[in-house]
Structure formats: C-alpha cells, structure tokens
Amino acid sequence: MSQSEVKKDQQLEDKEIPTKATLMEEIRQRMGGVKRTVDVCIYKVPSKLRKVNEDAYNPRVVSIGPYHQENPDLVDAMKEHKWRYMTSFLQQTNIPQESKECLERCVDAIYELCGEARQCYSETIKYNENELAKIMLLDGCFILELFVRCHANVEVNEDGQPDPVRKSAWMITALQHDLGLLENQIPFFILVRLYEIVKPRATKNYSVASLALKFFDPLSRKPRPEEKDQLGTDFKHLLDLLHKFYFLTAVSVPSVVLNNITEEQTSSCPSEPDYTSSNKWGFKYCTSELLEAAIEFQIPAWDDNKLLNINFDNGVLSIPQLIITDASSSVLRNLIAFEQYGVSSTNGVTSYAFLLQSLISNTSDFKLLLDKEIIAHNRFSDPEFLSEFETIVKDVVPKDDFYFAKLRDQVDKYKTPWYHFNKLKVFFVVQLQSEIMIVWKNRFTAKWSFLSVLSALALLILAFLQTYYTMHDPSS
C-alpha cells in the first residue's frame, strides 16, 4: 500500500461517523425546510393582464393581506378605520373581561393558522410570524365588522358619530371593488375562525358567506340564501365564494349545458373542434345575426340559476341575466385571472366572457341584449360598456376545453342555413325591386320587363324552397 493510500484511510477513520441521533436530527432539519404541499389560491396577477386595465387589479382604498402592505396610500389611509373596526368587532359586550378573553382567543387562533395561511400565497411572504399574524387579525376583523355593519345597516360609531366608511357611497363601492381582487385576499378559514369565536349578536343566524354575498353587488338574479348552513365554508377566499356561488354548477362536465339536446343531435356536432384559437371560443354570429335567423333570446323562468346555465332548445337561447354594476367588470377580470392561474380551478368564467363578447359586436347588439333583459345595468352608457367589455378577454389564453363548445356548435349549426338564406333573399329582393322599378318606369310597355319580374319571383320562391328543405332535411 502506498503512502498516499495509507494517509487516505487514516482520514476516513478520523472522520466522525454519524450516530443514529445525529442522523435523525439532520433528517428532521431537512424535512423542516421542505415546504408542505398546500392549495395555493392567492396569486399575483401577471403583467400581461394587468397592463390591459391596471385599475381592475389594484386596490383603490384598502390593502387586504400581505401583497399590498408596502403601499402607503392604502395602508395609511385605512389604518385608523381598521383598528376602530377591529376594536368594535372584538367588543361584542360591555364586559371588559369577556372582550379580553375574546381577543386572546382570536390571537391564539391566528397564530395557530398563520403557517397554513402563509402557504396559500403563490409569492414568498417576507413578513415574520408576528407581522403576518397582525395582518391577518387586523384585516380579518375589519372585513367581518364591515359585513356586520352593512348587514345591520349601521352608519354610526359607538360614540354616535357618523361612520366615515358607511356614510360614503363611494367608499362602499370602492371596498366592493377592493375585496373582490385576486391579490387582495386573505384565506376564508381565517374569517370563519374569527367569526366563530366572536359570534356577533346581530348576525347569529348568518354565516360569513351569506354576509359576504349581501355586501357585494349581485351579479345575477340568483337569490342569496338567508340560513347560515346553506352555503357552508368550503371557499378559498371571498373571490372564490363569488366564483362558486354565481358561476360553478353542481356538475362540472361542460356538456350538461345542453341538457335539452338529445345524444343524436349532439353527435352531429364536430367531434374535435379546434380550441387552439380564441376565435373558436364563442359564437360565429353576433346577437343581431342570430335574431335574424329566428333564434329567440330569453332569460330563464327560474331564479335559482347560475350564470353558466345557458341552454339552447328548439331555436330558443336561454341566458341568465347578468347584472352590470360598478364592480362587475373588475370582478369578472379577477375571476378570469383566478381561473387562468389557479391549478385546480375551472375555466367557466373565462368561457362565459368569451361567449358573451362574441354576442356583442357593436352598440346595436348591446341594446338588443338590454331589450331582452339578458344584460341589466344602471351605470354604463353604451360606449362605456363596449369599450370596457371589448378588452375583458384581451391577452387571456384559452386553456383546456371551451365550456360551451357543444352549445356553440349547436347554435352555429342552427344559424348557418339561415345565414345563406338571408344572403340569397337580400340578393333576389334587390333584383326584384330593380325589375319592378324598370317595369313601373316603362308602364309594362316592354314585354321583357314583365317576364323579368316573373323570373325574379320564380327564383325567389325557389330560394325559399331550397332553404326550407335544407333546414328540415334530417340528413343535414
């Protein structure tokens, strides 16, 4: 054995061999550094969506959660209101000892949930445990007290002075906008735990979900449940609550939208439509063109429906009413962003926005949908709505299957023969009118003019017959 080999063996002997205890400690440390897999649900909106409409994704008056804590315009302006609302929420009785115990329980609960809350955010949270706990407690109590005051229609503080937040209609509208932003959220389980501990006397029969829905402007005619057990607590945050309540159906399979169309009818639709282009994510024809094809528009007769429950049956397109308010556009944009970057979410709202946009090509289409009550609004003028809605899916990438694929194919298939018929009809009517003018001018003195009129009439009748048999041919 060479001298170098002897030296190497000696170094190996001198090296400390880890014991079982030191090995287990090293494993524990390494495991502690590995982030546990959780349901990430609060994301930063990518710049390509934000640049389309910056205001739709940024808070106006209040920062909720850790993402916008560095904005002094938001933090400083609402700091006093947040602390005042938190104090009011925790002091449900005039007994100091009970309020103290309530505060201690809330603080303990927040620290217990802080680790789980941290992992709900897609970005690394730079705040330590104490700082994050303060954010969660302060923002959670502020949101809940706001909901309680809006529910009870309270517009004064404990000292009898007007509440600056509740007395300002602009402030409430801004808060509705801010609490519906994807970046401006805290986990829903934080709100539920705080609410369960405090149990405000004014809202004992209501859940956090029902109070939240009452605070936000409605997006549809779907009635809000009053009982606390009807909605549950299985929501990721407030935006997810709006997503599930107004849009998601009980069955997630897109084909259920066509529940009135038989299997034989749907089999005639293209089996593998091209979803790679956003042009495929909508109807081929706008509202005015569909109406020309004798397709009727109506809102469902029932009220308990979700916005995705769109049906087509026997030439009738049934679309639930969408209520446009000051915050609607922002909510829709943030729901789309939530679907675009949420790993486990569906693409129902994204599909809905593409479908609705395909129906509106100009002001005339918008007015037709207003007349049919498919859209209701009390704020937007026609140009404002169109300019706002035209960009709602700009730079949005369609992913997976289009939710309304079969519905779109069925409507387009129904409309196409009418489209060709209308082109023929317009052509022959123009020709007929031209011949009639010639005949009138010559007072039927020319024999060929009279024959031209008969020929035009015959061609028009043939066009009608051809279109009729094309539309009613079972093999088509």
Domain boundaries, the chain: 47-246, 249-476
The pLDDT, as a whole number, for residue 250 is 41
Strands 316-318 and 311-313: antiparallel
Q: How many CB atoms lie within 10 A of CB 212?
A: 25
Over 80: is that where the pLDDT of 342 sits? no
At 465, the pLDDT band (50, 70, 90 cuts) reads low
335 against 15, higher pLDDT: 335
CA gap 171, 165 in Å, rounded? 6
The pLDDT, as a whole number, for residue 414 is 86
Burial degree of 323 (CB within 10 A; 0-12, 13-18, 19+)? middle
The pLDDT, as a whole number, for residue 397 is 82
Residue that the structure tokens 């927040």 belong to: 110
Average of pLDDT values for 464-474? 56
Which residues have C-beta within 8 Å of that of residue 205, sequence separation ≥ 6?
A: 226, 227, 228
The pLDDT, as a whole number, for residue 437 is 59
Average of pLDDT values for 183-202? 94
- Provide the token pair at 114: 């802080």
At 371, the pLDDT band (50, 70, 90 cuts) reads very high
Percent of the chain with pLDDT over 70: 69
Q: Helix (H, G, I), strand (E, B), or coil: what is residue 318?
A: strand
The pLDDT, as a whole number, for residue 5 is 57
Give pLDDT tens digits for 251-286: 333 333 333 333 333 333 333 344 344 457 899 899
| Alpha-carbon distance values, 139 to 69, 132, 187, 191, 394 (Å) | 11, 11, 11, 9, 32
Q: What is the length of the chain? A: 476
Most confident of the following: 113-117, 299-303, 421-425: 113-117
Prediction pTM value: 0.77
When mean pLDDT is compared across 48-52, 413-417, 437-441, the lowest value belongs to: 437-441
Over 60: is that where the pLDDT of 76 sits? yes
Nearest C-alpha neighbor of 258 from the set 180, 297, 311: 311
Q: Judge whether 303 and 323 are in contact, CB under 8 Å.
A: no
The pLDDT, as a whole number, for residue 286 is 93
Q: 214: part of which helix (H) or strand (E)?
A: helix 208-215
Please, what is the average pLDDT of the chain? 79
When mean pLDDT is compared across 11-25, 102-116, 180-194, 358-372, the lowest value belongs to: 11-25
